[in-house]
C-alpha cells in the first residue's frame, strides 16, 4: 500500500476528519473510531512508516505515547492504561493507548473524550 491509499496518511493530511488529541511536527494522536474504552487513542507518525520498529526515532515516538498515556490517566481517573502494538489493522505504524474498560464514560462520545485528554496534556 502506498501513502495515497493509507487511511492514516489521509487523516494526517486532513482528507479524513479525526478527533485529534495531540499533534506536533512528527506525530499525531487521535481517537480510534472503534474504541475499546473511552479515550482509546491511536498514536502515529505523520510520515508513512509501515512498522513502529522502523520509525527513525522510536524513542521520540514512545515519548509521545507516554505523554498521551499520562494525560489519559488524569482524564479518566485511572492508573490502568493499556497499550498495544500489532500493526495488522492498518499498514501504517500505530500504537493503541487506552484506559481500562472500567472507566466511566461513553466510548463513542468522541468530542468529550478528546477534550478530556487534551485538557490533561
DSSP state of 33: S
Report the alpha-carbon distance of residue 84 to residue 96 in Å, rounded.
Answer: 5
Helix, strand, coil % in the chain, rounded to nearest 5: 35, 20, 50
CB atoms under 10 Å from CB of 14, counted, come to 8
Point out which residues pair with 84 in neighbouring strands.
96
Residue 48 annotated as catalytic: no
Q: Which of 40, 55, 92, 94 is catalytic?
A: 94
Cβ proximity of 83 and 96 under 8 Å:
yes
Asked if 91 contacts 48 with a C-beta cutoff of 8 angstroms, the reply is no
Residues noted as catalytic = 94
Amino acid at each position: 500500500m502506498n501513502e495515497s491509499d493509507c487511511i492514516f496518511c489521509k487523516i494526517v493530511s486532513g482528507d479524513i476528519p479525526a478527533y485529534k488529541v495531540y499533534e506536533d511536527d512528527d506525530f499525531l494522536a487521535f481517537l480510534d473510531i472503534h474504541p475499546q474504552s473511552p479515550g482509546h487513542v491511536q498514536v502515529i507518525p505523520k510520515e508513512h512508516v509501515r512498522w513502529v520498529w522502523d520509525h527513525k526515532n522510536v524513542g521520540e515516538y514512545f515519548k509521545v505515547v507516554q505523554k498521551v498515556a499520562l494525560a489519559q490517566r488524569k482524564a479518566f481517573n485511572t492508573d490502568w492504561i493499556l497499550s498495544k502494538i500489532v500493526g495488522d489493522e492498518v499498514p501504517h505504524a500505530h500504537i493503541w493507548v487506552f484506559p481500562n474498560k472500567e472507566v466511566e464514560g461513553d466510548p463513542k462520545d468522541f468530542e468529550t473524550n478528546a477534550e478530556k485528554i487534551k485538557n490533561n496534556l
